[in-house]
Structure 1
Amino acid sequence: MRNLIAYFIKYPVAGNTLMVLIFIFGYFGLQSWKKNFFPVSESRILQIETVYPGSSPEEIEKGIVLKIEDNLRGVTGIEQISSVSQENSGVITIEVERSYNTDLVLQDVKNAVDRIPSFPDGMEPPVIYKKESRNFAISFSLSGDVSLTTLKKFAQKAESDLLAIDGISKIALSGYPDEEIEIALKEDALRAYDLTFLEVSQKVQNANLEVTGGKVRGDKEELIIRANTKGYYADKFQNIVIKTTTDGRIVRLKDVALVSDIWAESPNRSHLNGQPSVIIEVSNTIEEDILFVTESVKEYMEKFNTENSVVKTTLVRDGSTTLNERIDLLVDNGIIGFVLVLLFLAFFLHIRLAFWVALSIPIAFMGMFIVGANSEVSINVISLFGMILVIGILVDDGIVIGENIYKHYEDGKEPMQAAIDGTMQVLPAVFSAVLTTAIAFSTFFFLEGRLGEFAPDMAFVVISTLAFSLVEGAFILPAHVAHSKALSKEAKKNKVEKAFDNIMSTLRDKYYGPFLRFAMKNWVLALSVPIALFIITLGGIRGGIIKLTFFPFIEQDYITVNLEMPSGTRENITEGYLEDIQAAAWRVNQKMSSERADGKDIVENVLLKVGPGTNVGSVTIRLLGTEERQMQSFLISNAIRDEVGEVYEAEKLTFGINTPFGKPVSVSLLGNDLAELNLAKEELKNKLKELPALKDVNDNDKKGARELRLKLKEKAYAMGLTMRDVVGQVRQGFFGFEVQRLQRGLDEVKVWVRYDLEDRGSVKRLENMRIRTASGMQVPLNEIADYEIERGIVAINHLDGRREVRIEAELGDPTASASEIMAEVRAVIIPEVLAKYPSTSVTYEGQSKQQQKTASSGKRVIPIILLLMLAVIVLTFRSLWQAVLVFICIPFALIGVGWGHYFHGHAISLLSMFGIIALIGVMVNDSLVFVSRVNELVKEYKDFDKAVFEAGRSRFRAIVLTSVTTVAGLGPLIFETSFQAQFLIPMAISVAYGMMIATFITLIALPVFLVMLNRIKVGLNWLWTGKRPTNEEVEPAYIELKSEQLEIDKK
């Protein structure tokens, strides 16, 4: 290694060539690096979708879902199974364990389902697939004074145009129901012509077809025989012959039915700012770049609006906005941080030396761009987080190496020799420091939960950047410094440099030196101060003075209001309530905009959507950009909630923003005693509503629509009718009978035969419906059946095979600590509920589940990581006890972390933990450099106390500069006022404030610990041997020196 470093120093062209190559390939790597909002990893979610038209949730559960869940029990690799059984369909969702291959588990799941011997008649084959990983990119609306059919055609044309762009592959259209052809039969007409539903359906199927009948093989030509009477629109069905009467009259379909092209009865309607609209939503896959996708779509929108005057596009939501703002934040703070680092280095070192040290930042980043572009990692808000984090610690290695080279030069060595000796002296400690930091960050590769999907991107960025920083520090920096005028005899310090040099000397000799000497002599008193501060900090955390939360609130530019009315509510009623919410949003906008100095609207547009059921809908409110509005979105959300007021008729009404970790409060109650489960649900909901910090307390156990439940009379059985016969005919008339599916362009159009709306529009019509017996007799339904009206079930939820009711709630203030609220829920509320309803059990979902998964995996991984870090330090020092002392010093940095968060009004969160990991790396770096210097001086002075004292003095400048540059690099971010920065500030606080305390710990507490350890070893050795050794004789460096001298003497 020494020869290689000497080569780079002797021939600086080698270092310059390496630097230029890193810059060139880094630039091209940055250009080709994929960009996403959040990291997109391979999906671990499998879904089984089943469709059984006309079935109830109970039928879906018993006949389909329970069979599938039972057969999945033996499949390995499944972490969790959840299911929803609802009217006409069921969905089973399978979460695969991270350590298993999802595709192999998918095949095992398919095999398990195939082994089920039977499903109900009429059920469509189950669809089993792996959910595709994709990120939302952008959505826009098409609206204008035209029909919905015209809007749909424009939307399909836009979809086709966008899919033609290479790099865009996932588009979803919404805002219109499916198209259908309805054959609405008239009961009176059927009776008049003595026809049944089945006869009409069969006639339509037999007439509307396209069939090839073979070929006529002539001598000179083959003629294909084909019959094509297939129609694709309602007008082609009108003249289908249904029957010929005894008098020869032809009865056509139009004589007994109204045939129409209609929209399906399931609602799917959208209104943007009150105008009917079709929504186009574009997503990006793992391989696609969100910035390219959004820019391409916005260019298309601009072109579309130029070419069309009747239909216009309007941006609904742009998923790249936050990413772009985060990139801008990184660039701005990176530049400011770089300048500040350069200034501080220039003040305390030579200006040219400072420049070469600071150059490690762009070189390391360019190197990281090279490996990043060729990995599965993308540029996203998490990897950008890592880039911002690493800015503050990148120059640490360069400072240690550069300052040590300069020290060797001041000792009288020639520049090239000073560069070689200065680099080699500290390189083992620097390498160990980088390695321990990399090991610490590798923790994030092994965490589970949603964090385990996100954090590896950040860890990859930090580790690869530090690796290139080490390469730069070992090979490029020494060459630049050796041939720089910083090591020239002609180079003289200017007045500013001399002034700061005097400041540093004064701090070291007049204040630090005497204080260190006092602390070494009075080590009990010296250590009592940091220990007391550490205990006070722990008390502040446990007492709630210093707040804790799992994940901080992420500011967004939109608010979503979800409304769910009682099942069975008609579409127009639901839409009316949604319009009230929309109006409330505009009233809040008017009030807030009038209070602004610039008068700008807070609300840019409002998207109202009804569907997929008649009783559900949403209002999505797009806000003015975060930095322009200067108001947190949850405050606007709360204002709209207050303006709307209580909607007592609603089953569910939520205001908020979705987060990647789920709801802050999410509790699943499990049990097979449905009555007790419902009672437990109501009691838990009532108790949660009493907590003032919670809003929008809801559950997923909704009341069903009112049902007419038929029961046959004795007369029905006497006439040879069964329940299947009766319900089958009722179903044909009121639900409908699907006779065909037609491919009309891109759409699959179903052809339905059912009663017309008048004949199925009242209970009286149902009572008078004619039921046919096997003999052809027709009898009114009310003569053969009774009915009761009861509430049905909307959906039946399962979690791991048991019935589940999930209760969720939002925080009124998303910046509050969800952990504190959940602690109260777990400790007080849940035990009370479970004690009252013993057959019910509980699991915690949402953020609590993610927190628990991350914590449990951390408990397994962190001890191994710490052991590896300890091993590296032991190998560096060749002393277990010195390595342990370094570890003992690390927790004291929590003093700065905790009170830094308190002073800035932030809670310690998961993002703070990222900063703490980085802080540990910097602390270990400084400690390694310090202890390594102690060991060197023990060999040189053969006086332990003098060696410790002089190590402190000689490493004072490097350690202080490391802290100052770290704080300077992250300082702009800490005091950044933009809303985007609030997400990142906890990380910066952890590193910066932690480093302030860590500096004192490294320069004061660590030497005192070393002295304390030395005295303990001296005492133990004295007790063991009966002879008191000198302070030096028990130190590993002195023992090594003696061993080396013995080897030399033997030779």
Structure 2
Amino acid sequence: MRNLIAYFIKYPVAGNTLMALIMIFGWIGLQSWKKNFFPVSESRILKIEVVYPGSSPEEIEKGVVLKIEDNLRGVTGIEQVSSVSSENTGVITVEVQKKYNTDLVLQDVKNAVDRIPSFPDGMEPPVIYKQEGRNFAISFALSGDVSLTVLKKFAQKVESDLLAMDGLSKVALSGFPEEEIEIAVRENSLQAHDLTFLQVNQAVVNANLEITGGRVKGRNEELIIRANTKGYYADKFRDIVVKTTPDGRILRLHEVADVRDVWAESPNRNFLNGEPSVIIEVSNTIEEDILDITESVRNYMEEFNAENDVVKTTLVRDGSTTLNGRIDLLLENGIMGFILVLLFLAFFLHVRLAFWVALSIPIAFTGMFILGANSDVSINVISLFGMILVVGILVDDGIVIGENIYKKYEEGIPPLQAAVDGTMQVLPAVFSAVVTTGIAFSTFFFLDGRLGDFAPDMAFVVISTLAFSLVEGAFILPAHVAHSRALSKEAIKNKIELFFDRTMTWLREKTYAPLLKFSLNNWVLAVSFPLALLFITIGGLKGGFIRWTFFPAIEQDFINVELELPAGTRENVTEQVLLRIEEGALAVSDSVQAEREDGNPIIVNTLLKLGPATNTGKVEIRLLDAETRLMKSQNIANLIREKIGPIYDAEKLVFSISTPFGKPISVSLLGNNLEELEQAKEELEAELEKIPALIDIVDNDKQGPRELTIKLKEKAYLMGLTMRDVVGQVRQGYFGQEVQRLQRGLDEVKVWVRYPIDDRSSVNKLENMRIRTQSGLEVPFYEIADYEIERGIVAINHLDGQREVRIEADMGDPEVSASDVMTNVKDTILPPILDKYPSLSVAFEGQSKEQEKMKKSGSTVIPMILLLMLAVIILTFRSMWQAVIVFVTIPFAIIGVGWGHFLHGHAISLLSMFGVIALIGIMVNDSLVFVSRVNELVKKYHDFDKAVFEAGKSRFRAIILTSVTTVAGLTPLIFERSFQAQFLIPMAITVAYGMMVATYITLIVLPVFLIVLNRIKIMVNWLWTGKKPSKEEVEPAIIELKSENEALI
């Protein structure tokens, strides 16, 4: 290694060539590196969807879902199975364990479902698939003063145009129901012509067809026999012959039914700023670039609006905005950090030396770009997080190497020799520091849950960048420094450099040296002070004085208001309530706008979504960007909530600001005793209502619409009617019979035969419906059946085979820790409820589940990671106890982390933990260099106490510069007020304030610990051998030197 480093120093063209290759190939790699909003990893979610037209949730549960869930029990690799049984449909969601191949588990799931011997008659075959991994890219609305049919045709044309673009493959349309052909048969027409629904159905099937009848094989030509009377629109159905009367008259379909092209009876409608709209949403896969997609779509929107006057496009949301903002933040803070690093290094070393050290930032990044472009990692908000994180620690190795070379030169060693000796002296410690930091960040490759899905991107970026930083520091930096004017005899320091040089010397000799000497002589006092601070900090965390939460409230530019009214509510009622919410939001915007100096409204647009059920809907409110509006989205949501007032009949009204980890409070009650589930749910919700910090407490156990339960009278049985006969005829008239499916362009159109809507509009119509017996007689429904009106069920939820009622809530006060509230729920509220209802169990979902997954996987991975780090340090020092001492100093950094968050009003969170990993890497780096220097000086002086003291003075400048540049590089980010920075500030606080404390720990506490360790080893050795050794004889450096001398003999 020494010869290789000497070669690069002797021939600087080699280092320049290596640097040029890294930067050129890195730039090329950056151009081809894919961009996404979030990392797109392989999906581990499998879906089983079943459609059973006309069925109730109970029928779906008993006839379909329970059978599938039972057969899935033996499938290996399944982590969790949940299901929702609702009217006509059932959806089973299978979550696959991370260590299993999802495609293989998918095949096992398909085989398990195929083994089910039977499903109810009339159920469509189950659809089983792996949920595709994709990311939101951009969405826009298509609106205009035209009919919904015309709007849909425009939307389909836009969809076709977008899919024709390169690099764009996922487009979804919403805002219109499915198209259908309705054959609305009138009851009086059936009676007048002695017809049944069955006859009408059969007539349609027999007439509307396309069929081949064979071939006529002539002598010279074959003729294909074909009949094609198939129609795809309602007007082609109207003349279908239904019946021929005895008098020879032909009865056609339009004479007994209204045949129309209609929209399905579902309330799937969108309104952007009050205008009927179709929403077009574009997503990107892992192979597609979000920035390219959004740019292409925006250009298309401009061209479309320029060419069309009737219909226009309006942007709803652009996913690249956040990504571009994060990139801008990286560039701004990277440039600012680069300048600050350059300034501080120039002040305390030499301006040219500072430049070459700071150059490691772009070299390391471009090197990482080479690896990134050839991996599955993309540029996304998480990998950018890693880039911003690594900026704070990137120059540390360069500072250590550069400063040591400069120190060797100051001692009188020639420049080239100083570069070789200075590099080789600290390279083992620097190499170990990079390896230990890489091992620490590799933790994120092995975590479960959502964190385990996207954190590996951040770890990849950090490890790759540090690896190239090491290459640059070992081979390129020494060559540049050796041949720079910084090591030239002609280099004369200017007044500023002399001032800072004297300042550094004064700090070292007049401040640090006396403090270190005092601490070494009074080690109990020196250790007691930081130890007391550590216990106070832990107490602050335990007592809630320093706040902790799993995932902090991140400022966003969207507010989603979700509404659910009682089941059975008609869509026009739901629409009126949604309009009330929208009007309240706009009124808040107007009132705030009037008080703003810039006069800008805080709401850019509102999107009202009606559906998917008649009683549900949503208002999506897009806010002015956070940097401009200067109001928190949570505060705006609270103003809107106050403005609209209570909606008393709403079963769900939630102002949600989404996070990738789910709700902060999410509790699932599990059991098959429905009465106990209902009572426990009510008691838990009542307790949660007492917690002031919680808002929007909702559950998924909603009352269903009112149901008419049919019961036959004796007269029905006397007339030969069964329940199947009666309900079958009612179902035909009210639900309808799907007689055909037609492929009309891109749409699959269903053909329904049923009563007109007017004949289905009242209970009185049902009572007077004519029921036909097998003998052909007709009797009113009320003569052969009674009915009772009861409440039904909207949906039945299962979790791992048991019925589930999930209660969720949001945090209304961001100053209150969600973790503390959840701990209160687990330890205080739930135990008496579960004791009262012993048949029930509980599961925690949302953020609690993610936190538990992280803890479970981390409890296995982190000890192994720590052991590997310890092994690397032991191999570096060739001493286990010195490695342990380095590890013992790490927890003291919590002091800076905790009180830094307290001072800035932030809670310690998952984002802070990312910074802790980086902080550990920096601390280990400084500690390795310090202890390595102690071992060198012990060999040189053969005086342990002097070696520790001189090592402190020797490494003082390098450690101070490492800390100052790290803090300086992160300071602009800590005080950044942009929306993008809020996501990053906890990490920056962790590293910056942790480094302030770590500097004291490394320069004062670590030397004291080394002294204490030395005295303990002397005592143990004395007790063990009976002979008291000297301070130097128990030190690994002297033991190693003695072994080397003996080997030579």
Q: Same fold (TM over 0.5)?
A: yes
Q: Which amino acid aligns with 1:108?
A: D
Specify the SS of the correspondent of 2:822: helix
Decide whether the 8 Å contact of 1:238 with 1:253 is kept in 2. yes
Tell me whether 289-298 or 832-841 shows the greater mean CA deviation.
Answer: 832-841
Specify the SS of the correspondent of 2:759: coil
Q: Give 1:741's aligned residue.
A: 741
Q: Give 1:152's aligned residue.
A: 152
CA shift, 1:627, in A, is 1.2
CA shift, 1:575, in A, is 0.4
Decide whether the 8 Å contact of 2:267 with 2:613 is kept in 1. yes
Task: Output the CA distance in 1 between the equivalents of 2:1023 and 2:178.
Answer: 90
Q: Give 2:534's aligned residue.
A: 534
Q: Give 2:440's aligned residue.
A: 440
Q: 1:39-62 deviations in whole A, cap 9, x for unaligned?
A: 110000001001111111111101
Task: Output the CA distance in 2 between the equivalents of 1:604 and 1:960.
Answer: 48
Specify the SS of the correspondent of 2:385: helix
Q: Give the % identical residues.
A: 76
Q: 1:120-151 deviations in whole A, cap 9, x for unaligned?
A: 11111000000001111111111111110010
1:316 aligns with 2:316: yes
Q: 1:737-786 deviations in whole A, cap 9, x for unaligned?
A: 11111111111111100011222111111111111111111111111111
1:618 aligns with 2:618: yes
Gaps in structure 2 of 5+ consecutive residues: none
Q: Give 2:674's aligned residue.
A: 674
Q: Give 2:74's aligned residue.
A: 74
Task: Output the CA distance in 1 between the equivalents of 2:630 and 2:162.
Answer: 35
Decide whether the 8 Å contact of 1:140 with 1:317 is kept in 2. yes
Specify the SS of the correspondent of 1:691: coil
Decide whether the 8 Å contact of 1:364 with 1:469 is kept in 2. yes
Specify the SS of the correspondent of 1:669: strand
Task: Output the CA distance in 1 between the equivalents of 2:886 and 2:623.
Answer: 50
Task: Output the CA distance in 2 between the equivalents of 1:881 and 1:398.
Answer: 28
Specify the SS of the correspondent of 1:227: strand
Q: Give 1:390's aligned residue.
A: 390
CA shift, 1:964, in A, is 0.5
Q: For 1:108-187, list aligned pairs within 5 A.
A: 108-187=108-187
Task: Output the CA distance in 1 between the equivalents of 2:269 and 2:960.
Answer: 63
Instruction: Using structure 2 for the length normalisation, give the TM-score.
Output: 0.99
Task: Output the CA distance in 2 between the equivalents of 1:31 and 1:815.
Answer: 42
Task: Output the CA distance in 2 between the equivalents of 1:100 and 1:651.
Answer: 40
Aligned residues: 1049
Q: For 1:374-413, list aligned pairs within 5 A.
A: 374-413=374-413
Q: Give 1:426's aligned residue.
A: 426
Q: Give 1:1011's aligned residue.
A: 1011
Q: Give 2:281's aligned residue.
A: 281
Q: Give 1:262's aligned residue.
A: 262
Task: Output the CA distance in 1 between the equivalents of 2:604 and 2:813.
Answer: 23
Specify the SS of the correspondent of 1:978: coil
Decide whether the 8 Å contact of 1:553 with 1:983 is kept in 2. no
Specify the SS of the correspondent of 1:393: helix
Task: Output the CA distance in 2 between the equivalents of 1:516 and 1:189.
Answer: 104
Decide whether the 8 Å contact of 2:141 with 2:315 is kept in 1. yes
Q: Which amino acid aligns with 1:835?
A: D
CA shift, 1:815, in A, is 5.5
Tell me whether 809-818 or 608-617 shows the greater mean CA deviation.
Answer: 809-818
CA shift, 1:813, in A, is 2.9
CA shift, 1:1026, in A, is 2.1
1:696 aligns with 2:696: yes
1:213 aligns with 2:213: yes
Decide whether the 8 Å contact of 2:627 with 2:977 is kept in 1. no
CA shift, 1:221, in A, is 2.1
Tell me whether 146-155 or 626-635 shows the greater mean CA deviation.
Answer: 626-635
Decide whether the 8 Å contact of 1:630 with 1:979 is kept in 2. no
Task: Output the CA distance in 1 between the equivalents of 2:971 and 2:35.
Answer: 27
Q: For 1:263-662, list aligned pairs within 5 A.
A: 263-662=263-662
CA shift, 1:825, in A, is 1.0
Q: Give 1:19's aligned residue.
A: 19
Decide whether the 8 Å contact of 2:184 with 2:258 is kept in 1. yes
Specify the SS of the correspondent of 2:393: coil
Specify the SS of the correspondent of 2:548: coil
Q: 1:780-816 deviations in whole A, cap 9, x for unaligned?
A: 1111111000000111000000000000011113464
Q: Give 2:878's aligned residue.
A: 878
CA shift, 1:185, in A, is 0.4
Q: Give 1:947's aligned residue.
A: 947
Specify the SS of the correspondent of 2:760: coil
Decide whether the 8 Å contact of 1:552 with 1:815 is kept in 2. no
Tell me whether 216-225 or 767-776 shows the greater mean CA deviation.
Answer: 216-225
Decide whether the 8 Å contact of 2:177 with 2:266 is kept in 1. yes
Task: Output the CA distance in 2 between the equivalents of 1:761 and 1:971.
Answer: 68
Q: Give 1:62's aligned residue.
A: 62
Superposition CA RMSD, Å = 0.9
Decide whether the 8 Å contact of 1:685 with 1:807 is kept in 2. yes
Specify the SS of the correspondent of 2:792: strand
1:850 aligns with 2:850: yes
Decide whether the 8 Å contact of 1:582 with 1:606 is kept in 2. yes
Q: Give 2:889's aligned residue.
A: 889
Task: Output the CA distance in 1 between the equivalents of 2:839 and 2:219.
Answer: 83
Tell me whether 422-431 or 551-560 shows the greater mean CA deviation.
Answer: 551-560
Q: 1:459-507 deviations in whole A, cap 9, x for unaligned?
A: 1110000000000000000010111111111111111111101000001
Q: Give 1:715's aligned residue.
A: 715
Tell me whether 218-227 or 822-831 shows the greater mean CA deviation.
Answer: 218-227
Specify the SS of the correspondent of 1:182: strand
Task: Output the CA distance in 1 between the equivalents of 2:681 and 2:403.
Answer: 66
Task: Output the CA distance in 2 between the equivalents of 1:758 and 1:503.
Answer: 92
Decide whether the 8 Å contact of 1:664 with 1:848 is kept in 2. yes
Task: Output the CA distance in 1 between the equivalents of 2:181 and 2:168.
Answer: 33
Q: Which amino acid aligns with 2:974?
A: I
Task: Output the CA distance in 2 between the equivalents of 1:272 and 1:163.
Answer: 24
CA shift, 1:634, in A, is 1.2
Q: For 1:843-992, list aligned pairs within 5 A.
A: 843-992=843-992
Task: Output the CA distance in 1 between the equivalents of 2:793 and 2:64.
Answer: 17
CA shift, 1:1024, in A, is 2.0
Q: Give 1:811's aligned residue.
A: 811
Tell me whether 1024-1033 or 564-573 shows the greater mean CA deviation.
Answer: 1024-1033
Decide whether the 8 Å contact of 2:172 with 2:280 is kept in 1. yes
Task: Output the CA distance in 2 between the equivalents of 1:809 and 1:1018.
Answer: 60
1:837 aligns with 2:837: yes
Task: Output the CA distance in 1 between the equivalents of 2:1022 and 2:69.
Answer: 70
Instruction: Using structure 1 for the length normalisation, give the TM-score.
Output: 0.99
Q: Which amino acid aligns with 1:403?
A: E
CA shift, 1:322, in A, is 1.1
Tell me whether 938-947 or 1037-1046 shows the greater mean CA deviation.
Answer: 1037-1046
Tell me whether 196-205 or 624-633 shows the greater mean CA deviation.
Answer: 624-633
Decide whether the 8 Å contact of 1:212 with 1:225 is kept in 2. yes
CA shift, 1:855, in A, is 1.1
Q: 1:366-387 deviations in whole A, cap 9, x for unaligned?
A: 0111101111111111111111
CA shift, 1:911, in A, is 0.7
Task: Output the CA distance in 1 between the equivalents of 2:264 and 2:435.
Answer: 63
Task: Output the CA distance in 1 between the equivalents of 2:749 and 2:814.
Answer: 45
Task: Output the CA distance in 1 between the equivalents of 2:81 and 2:684.
Answer: 24
Q: Which amino acid aligns with 2:434?
A: V
Task: Output the CA distance in 1 between the equivalents of 2:233 and 2:1015.
Answer: 97
Q: 1:816 to 1:39 in 2, by over 3 A?
A: farther
Task: Output the CA distance in 2 between the equivalents of 1:685 and 1:537.
Answer: 35
Q: 1:807-853 deviations in whole A, cap 9, x for unaligned?
A: 00111134642111111111111112212222211111000100111
CA shift, 1:872, in A, is 0.4
Q: 1:998-1029 deviations in whole A, cap 9, x for unaligned?
A: 01100000000001111111112222222221
Decide whether the 8 Å contact of 2:556 with 2:979 is kept in 1. no
